Protein backbone atom coordinates (compact mmCIF):
# COMPACT_ATOMS: atom_id res chain seq x y z
CA UNK A 1 0.00 0.00 0.00
CA UNK A 2 1.23 3.47 -0.84
CA UNK A 3 0.45 6.43 1.37
CA UNK A 4 -1.85 9.07 -0.07
CA UNK A 5 0.43 11.82 1.19
CA UNK A 6 4.10 11.98 2.12
CA UNK A 7 3.67 13.46 5.58
CA UNK A 8 7.31 14.42 6.02
CA UNK A 9 7.81 15.45 2.40
CA UNK A 10 4.95 17.94 2.44
CA UNK A 11 5.83 21.25 4.10
CA UNK A 12 2.43 21.81 5.71
CA UNK A 13 2.03 18.23 6.93
CA UNK A 14 5.58 18.21 8.30
CA UNK A 15 4.92 21.42 10.23
CA UNK A 16 1.75 19.99 11.79
CA UNK A 17 3.51 16.71 12.67
CA UNK A 18 6.37 18.63 14.28
CA UNK A 19 3.86 20.24 16.66
CA UNK A 20 2.05 16.96 17.34
CA UNK A 21 5.38 15.29 18.14
CA UNK A 22 6.25 18.16 20.50
CA UNK A 23 2.85 17.80 22.18
CA UNK A 24 3.45 14.07 22.57
CA UNK A 25 6.82 14.70 24.19
CA UNK A 26 5.17 17.14 26.61
CA UNK A 27 3.20 14.24 28.12
CA UNK A 28 6.36 12.67 29.52
CA UNK A 29 7.77 13.82 32.83
CA UNK A 30 4.43 14.23 34.61
CA UNK A 31 4.87 10.97 36.47
CA UNK A 32 2.77 8.64 34.31
CA UNK A 33 4.87 5.52 33.76
CA UNK A 34 6.22 5.28 30.22
CA UNK A 35 4.73 1.79 29.93
CA UNK A 36 1.28 3.17 30.74
CA UNK A 37 1.61 5.89 28.10
CA UNK A 38 2.56 3.25 25.51
CA UNK A 39 -0.43 1.10 26.51
CA UNK A 40 -2.68 4.16 26.13
CA UNK A 41 -1.25 4.95 22.69
CA UNK A 42 -1.52 1.35 21.58
CA UNK A 43 -5.13 0.94 22.75
CA UNK A 44 -6.33 4.12 21.05
CA UNK A 45 -4.53 3.09 17.86
CA UNK A 46 -6.22 -0.32 17.94
CA UNK A 47 -9.65 1.26 18.38
CA UNK A 48 -9.03 3.70 15.54
CA UNK A 49 -7.67 1.03 13.22
CA UNK A 50 -4.36 2.83 12.78
CA UNK A 51 -1.92 0.17 11.63
CA UNK A 52 1.02 2.57 11.55
CA UNK A 53 0.58 3.66 15.17
CA UNK A 54 -0.26 0.14 16.36
CA UNK A 55 3.02 -1.04 14.80
CA UNK A 56 4.95 1.91 16.23
CA UNK A 57 3.71 1.72 19.80
CA UNK A 58 3.95 -2.06 19.99
CA UNK A 59 7.59 -1.88 18.92
CA UNK A 60 8.41 1.11 21.12
CA UNK A 61 6.82 -0.63 24.12
CA UNK A 62 8.79 -3.82 23.47
CA UNK A 63 12.01 -1.82 23.11
CA UNK A 64 11.25 -0.11 26.44
CA UNK A 65 10.90 -3.49 28.18
CA UNK A 66 7.17 -4.18 27.92
CA UNK A 67 6.29 -7.87 27.68
CA UNK A 68 4.79 -9.49 24.62
CA UNK A 69 2.09 -11.07 26.79
CA UNK A 70 0.80 -7.71 28.01
CA UNK A 71 0.91 -6.24 24.52
CA UNK A 72 -1.03 -9.22 23.18
CA UNK A 73 -3.73 -8.60 25.78
CA UNK A 74 -4.18 -4.82 25.47
CA UNK A 75 -7.24 -5.21 23.23
CA UNK A 76 -8.79 -7.52 25.85
CA UNK A 77 -7.52 -5.70 28.94
CA UNK A 78 -10.80 -6.05 30.85
CA UNK A 79 -10.48 -9.85 30.92
CA UNK A 80 -6.69 -9.91 31.37
CA UNK A 81 -5.07 -10.28 34.79
CA UNK A 82 -1.74 -8.72 33.79
CA UNK A 83 -2.68 -5.04 34.16
CA UNK A 84 -2.58 -3.01 37.37
CA UNK A 85 -5.54 -1.00 38.63
CA UNK A 86 -3.92 2.30 37.55
CA UNK A 87 -3.28 0.85 34.07
CA UNK A 88 -6.89 -0.32 33.89
CA UNK A 89 -8.08 3.18 34.82
CA UNK A 90 -5.85 4.68 32.09
CA UNK A 91 -7.06 2.15 29.51
CA UNK A 92 -10.72 2.83 30.37
CA UNK A 93 -10.13 6.58 30.12
CA UNK A 94 -8.44 5.97 26.77
CA UNK A 95 -11.35 3.96 25.43
CA UNK A 96 -13.95 6.46 26.59
CA UNK A 97 -11.89 9.42 25.33
CA UNK A 98 -11.34 7.76 21.97
CA UNK A 99 -14.95 6.71 21.46
CA UNK A 100 -16.49 10.10 22.21
CA UNK A 101 -18.97 9.84 19.36
CA UNK A 102 -20.30 6.56 20.76
CA UNK A 103 -21.45 8.03 24.07
CA UNK A 104 -23.48 11.19 24.37
CA UNK A 105 -22.04 13.31 27.14
CA UNK A 106 -18.42 12.28 26.68
CA UNK A 107 -16.36 10.46 29.30
CA UNK A 108 -18.63 9.25 32.12
CA UNK A 109 -18.06 10.67 35.59
CA UNK A 110 -17.35 7.24 37.08
CA UNK A 111 -14.51 6.67 34.60
CA UNK A 112 -12.99 10.03 35.50
CA UNK A 113 -13.43 9.40 39.21
CA UNK A 114 -11.65 6.06 38.95
CA UNK A 115 -8.76 7.73 37.13
CA UNK A 116 -8.52 10.41 39.86
CA UNK A 117 -7.99 7.67 42.44
CA UNK A 118 -4.79 6.57 40.71
CA UNK A 119 -3.34 9.72 39.16
CA UNK A 120 -2.49 13.25 40.29
CA UNK A 121 -3.82 16.29 38.47
CA UNK A 122 -0.59 16.63 36.47
CA UNK A 123 -0.71 12.94 35.58
CA UNK A 124 -4.34 13.25 34.52
CA UNK A 125 -3.41 16.22 32.34
CA UNK A 126 -0.67 14.12 30.74
CA UNK A 127 -3.05 11.21 30.17
CA UNK A 128 -5.73 13.44 28.64
CA UNK A 129 -3.12 15.06 26.39
CA UNK A 130 -1.64 11.68 25.40
CA UNK A 131 -5.10 10.40 24.48
CA UNK A 132 -5.89 13.53 22.46
CA UNK A 133 -2.54 13.53 20.65
CA UNK A 134 -2.58 9.83 19.73
CA UNK A 135 -6.11 10.23 18.40
CA UNK A 136 -4.87 13.11 16.21
CA UNK A 137 -1.95 11.00 14.95
CA UNK A 138 -4.31 8.08 14.29
CA UNK A 139 -6.61 10.23 12.21
CA UNK A 140 -3.79 11.71 10.15
CA UNK A 141 -2.35 8.26 9.45
CA UNK A 142 -5.67 6.56 8.70
CA UNK A 143 -6.87 9.36 6.39
CA UNK A 144 -3.59 9.31 4.45
CA UNK A 145 -3.30 5.49 4.56
CA UNK A 146 0.18 5.35 6.04
CA UNK A 147 1.49 1.78 5.66
CA UNK A 148 2.39 -0.26 8.74
CA UNK A 149 5.20 -2.69 9.42
CA UNK A 150 8.41 -0.84 8.66
CA UNK A 151 8.69 1.29 11.79
CA UNK A 152 11.92 0.96 13.78
CA UNK A 153 11.86 1.69 17.55
CA UNK A 154 12.87 5.27 18.28
CA UNK A 155 12.65 6.23 14.62
CA UNK A 156 11.07 9.60 15.39
CA UNK A 157 13.11 10.37 18.50
In which region does residue 80 sit, left (phi positive, over 0), alpha (psi from -120 to 50) or beta (all else)? beta
Chain CA centroid to CA 26, Å: 14
Cα distances (Å, whole numbers) of residue 85 to 31, 34, 124, 145: 16, 16, 15, 35
Q: What is the 3-state secondary structure (H, E, C) of 96-123?
A: HHHCHHHCCCCCCHHHHHHHHCCCCHHH
Is residue 11 one of the residues assigned to a domain? no
Is position 79 within any domain? yes
- Domain count of the chain? 1
pLDDT truncated to tens, each residue of the chain (157 aa)?
A: 789 999 989 999 999 999 999 999 999 999 999 999 999 999 999 999 999 999 999 999 999 899 999 999 999 999 999 999 999 999 999 999 999 988 778 999 999 999 999 999 999 999 999 999 999 999 999 999 999 999 999 887 6
pLDDT of residue 154: 83
Residue 134 sits in a domain whose CATH number is 1.20.1290.10
Residue 93 sits in which domain range? 32-143
Q: Is residue 76 part of a domain?
A: yes
- 71 within a domain of the structure (yes/no): yes
pLDDT of residue 15: 96
Rounded distance between C-alpha atoms, residue 1 and residue 20, angstroms = 24
Q: Does a structural domain hold residue 9? A: no
In-domain check, residue 37: yes
| pLDDT score recorded for residue 156 | 79
- Within-domain flag for 90: yes
- Whether residue 16 lies inside any domain: the answer is no
Cα separation, 60 vs 126, in Å, equals 19
CA atoms of 68 and 62, how far apart (whole Å): 7
Amino acid sequence: MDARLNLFGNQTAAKVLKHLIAASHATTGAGVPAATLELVRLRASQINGCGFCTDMHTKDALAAGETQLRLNLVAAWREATVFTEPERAALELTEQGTRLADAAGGVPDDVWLTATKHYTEDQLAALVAAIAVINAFNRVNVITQQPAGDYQPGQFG
